[in-house]
Amino acid sequence: MTKEEVCSRIEQIGIVPAVRVSSSEEAHFAASAVNRAGIPIAEITATVPGAVEVIARLVKDCPKMILGAGTVLDVDLAKRCLGAGAHFLTSPCLVLEVVDFAVKQGIAVLPGALTPTEVLSAWKAGGDFVKVYPCAPVGEDYIRALKAPFPQVKLIAAGGVTQQSALGYLLSGASALGIGTALIPREALQMRQEEQIHELARRFKRMVKKARSPESSP
């Protein structure tokens, strides 16, 4: 899958599930569950025990999924994730060496940023999307405010996105949403309640569809 195809699918799907859990088995279950729920993409954060191995296993078990590595804070980890088959790299902040590595390798990269200066720096460095993180403390109006001077920058709202706020972020100009526990609740993982994840996925998918309907256009 080319970098362009990965970026196109991220924007098309509009949801990037963030898997930040306490075990490799939970991570595999969570990613597989969202895939079966019709969201064929997941970000496995480096804080997951054995994250690189989880990515490699998912690449094998779910070959049609877009799998990303999250919380990538150095090039060494970026190389290992890429070797495992990751389709994109992302981080909660702007790590220029990781962005530069991804650009040179021709792999999609979603650097994190918060301030206008960071957002522009991330985009100019070669970010395919800029992940506004954490977006919950600043809210949907902040996404709208960023889009005014930076209409060309594709923003992903991440960090505290909920069912109540998701539609607002999309209507404010976010190209996609990074969603964690609101899509993959801890209790659903502990009890292996896949249907709960499927129901939450259906709700978020409906929000993406609604935000992109002609009736929602300004």
Query: What is the per-residue pLDDT across 79-104, written as a single tens digit (0 to 9) for each?
Result: 999 999 999 999 999 999 999 999 99
Give SS3 for 51.
helix
Residue 214's pLDDT is: 78
Average pLDDT value over all residues in the chain: 96
Residue 216's pLDDT is: 62
* Helical axes 51-61 vs 75-84, angle rounded to 10°: 20
Cα 191 to Cα 178: distance, rounded to the nearest angstrom: 23
Residue 215's pLDDT is: 72
pLDDT tens column, 27-40:
999 999 999 999 99
Please tell me what DSSP assigns to residue 41. E
Q: Is the pLDDT of residue 62 over 80?
A: yes
Residues 93, 98, 100, 104: is their CA dihedral positive or negative? negative
Cα 43 to Cα 71: distance, rounded to the nearest angstrom: 9
Residue 217's pLDDT is: 57
CA angle 20, 89, 108 (to 5 degrees): 140
> What is the fold of 3-211?
TIM Barrel (3.20.20)
User: What percentage of the chain carries pLDDT values higher than 70?
Assistant: 99
Cα 58 to Cα 36: distance, rounded to the nearest angstrom: 13
